Structure 1
Amino acid sequence: MRHDDVTHLHGMHVVHYGPLQAPPLVLIHGSGLSGGSWSPVVPTLADQYHVIRVDLPGHGQSSPAPSYDVPEQASRLAAVLDELGLRPVTVVGHSSGGYIATALAEQRPDLVGSLALISSGPSPDALLPQPVLLRMLIAPPLGPLLWSIRSDAMLRRGVTAVCNRPVDVPDDLVAEVRGIGYRTFRKVLRRNTAYIAERSVSERLTALDVPVLVIFGAADRRWDPSSAHHYDTVPNARVEQLPDVGHLPMFEAPEATSELLLAFAAAGR
């Protein structure tokens, strides 16, 4: 996997892959992860697209932000894309990264040509009871203490707790996951919940005139897999469920995930 360019724009760490003259495809990770969470699918995508991978504020190698409101993060990403001179782009968001992708399309329809959401729960009532380790890491009173003493093994278990298939978490992703602070993570989770509580993602997408691909693991352990069908009512939306796959399709089924994204992006050209 070749880095064509690495930049730091508007406080966000941005990495480019593939031919810069190719159609742009933007990858947005989920809460608590980083741009490194896309590593299994980037090589295939970068064969045909100019792939732009970002670290969201407070994650990976990006700077903290004064606000983690979803619309504010989308606005910051829009500023990055404006500075890069990229439009229209195919935007792909994983989990809560799908909320930022949706907010970007709401704010700047001129920037977003098509929109793909992977494992993005549509509303708060679709959230499943979370694995014990994640609950302990996130919630007081043990959360701050456990967060401060997290080992690499604990971080790997935290990432894989929402997977249904065996996953090998690379060292560089573990290092980037370690970078997010406890208070930042709690703020991000609260602001994500506020965004989908105010209006569900499927309702938001229905109001947009943009092609949508929804990919959901049929064995997602974070969001109720049946909630993927909430997106069936969205015009111009296609819903794909991956059998036996949990919350991280990029790691659990990279080939299938890449194929779906490539076909979707090609249809939007």
Structure 2
Amino acid sequence: MIRHSADTPAGPVRVTAAGGQGRPLLLIHGWGGQGAQWTALLPALAERFQVLVADLPGGPDAPLSGAVSMERLGQGVATLLRQAKLREVVIVGHSMGGPVMVEAALAAPDRISGLLGLDTLADRMFYGGSSAAEIAMRRTAFAADLVRQTRAMIFAIAALGTPEPVKEAICASVLRARPEDLLALRDALFAWRCGERLPRLAVPLRLLNSAEVTAAHARDPLPSLARVPQTVYGTGHFPQIESPDRLLPALLAELDQFGID
């Protein structure tokens, strides 16, 4: 199995080749996640693409080694694409992976031909940019009981019909990460400003979001997303884990919009 790695001040970004031929398709996980979250989709995606799976620093098996930001993580992805001599890459970024893929495209527009956000970017509370005071307040509240807060959040954003063992498994995986890393990643995510970064993009962007995130955007729209195509896949924040069979056709339909053969 081929692996690539690129150092960042926050720690190494790692990418593993998961099989397949054709255009490169890079999958980037979200907050507290890991590349294994995409496992259920890999065989079907590998029938059409050269599939690559990222592991960002700060996850269960990759502790942070320095200060983290969405920009640093994205620049690490960009460096890795250059080192691996990959071109015409389409990136799917889930949740926090959305800002990371945007930053990668800003750093290496010549290597990337399309961005597909999965349940990301369209909720102002997470992606609109927060003040230092707001970030500090959120950190204090979350850190007061990180385990309980993490579990409550994951159970709240999972689909109602998701079996309890699946939600418990997601919680257990995320909570394997170091508490200080989870807090640092949250701070970095809340500091990132969608409205300042998206206008600089030179590659196409599409969003495949849950009904919940779509509703949040309808209540408080981000102007920078006004012309970004947005499709609803259903409910639940972790569709690649909760309902991969239902997600797959919607995912493939969106990837088709980038002209991938």
Normalising by structure 1, report the TM-score: 0.76
Aligned partner of residue 265 in structure 1, secondary structure = helix
Can you list the C-alpha shifts for 1:34-66, whole angstroms capped at 9, x where unaligned? 112222222211111111111111213334231
Q: 2:162 is matched with which residue: 144, 166, 176?
A: 166
Aligned-CA RMSD value: 3.3
Report the identity percentage: 24
Tell me the secondary structure at the aligned position of residue 161 of structure 1: helix
- Alignment-derived partner of residue 211 in structure 1: 204
Higher mean Cα deviation, 35-44 or 118-127? 118-127
Distance 1:225 1:254, change over 3 A: farther
Post-superposition Cα deviations, 1:146-173, rounded to whole Å, max 9, x if no partner, equal 48xxxxxx98776443112314539986
Helix, strand or coil at the partner of 1:179: coil
Shift of 1:23: 1.0
CA gap 1:140/1:67 in 2 versus in 1, 3 angstroms: closer
Distance 2:67 2:178 in 1: 14
Does 1:193 find its partner at 2:184? no
How many residue pairs were aligned? 242
Aligned partner of 1:13 in structure 2 is: 14
Question: Are residues 1:266 and 2:256 paired?
Answer: yes
Q: Return the offset for 1:138.
A: 6.7
Rounded Cα–Cα distance in structure 1 between residues aligned with 2:15 and 2:98: 18
Query: Partner residue of 2:133?
Result: none
Distance in structure 2 (CA, Å) of the matches to 1:227 and 1:126: 14
Shift in Å, 1:185:
0.9
1:39 match: secondary structure: helix
Greater displacement, 250-259 / 48-57: 250-259
1:23 corresponding residue in structure 2 = 23
Render the CA deviation track for 1:118-159: whole Å, top value 9, x for unaligned. Answer: 1114354368xxxxxxx999723333xx48xxxxxx987764
Aligned partner of 1:131 in structure 2 is none
**1:226 Cα offset (Å):** 3.0
Contact 2:6 2:76 in 1 (8 A): no
Q: C-alpha distance in 2, partners of 1:162/1:173?
A: 11
- CA deviation vs aligned residue, 1:189-244 (integer Å, no higher than 9, x gap): 11111112xx42xx6334423222201111359x826369647522xx3211133x
Question: Displaced runs of 4+ in structure 1, greater than 6 A?
Answer: 135-138, 154-157, 170-175
Deviation, structure 1 residue 9? 4.4
CA distance in 2: counterparts of 1:81 and 1:106, whole angstroms: 13
1:215·1:242 contact (CA, 8 Å) conserved in 2? yes
Choose 185-194 or 118-127, whichever is displaced more: 118-127
1:88 aligns with 2:88: yes
- Contact 2:25 2:49 (8 Å CA) reproduced: yes
Write the letter of the residue equivalent to 2:182.
F
| Matched residue type, 1:250 | Q
1:179 aligns with 2:176: yes
Unaligned runs of 5+ in 2: 128-137
Give distance in 2, aligned partners of 1:214 and 1:14.
23
SS in 1 for 2:93: strand
CA distance in 1, matches of 2:123, 2:156: 21
Residue in 2 aligned with 1:118? 118
Query: SS of the residue aligned with 1:72?
Result: helix
8 A contact 1:162–1:220 mirrored in 2? no
Letter of the aligned partner of 1:263 in structure 2?
A
2:240 partner amino acid: M
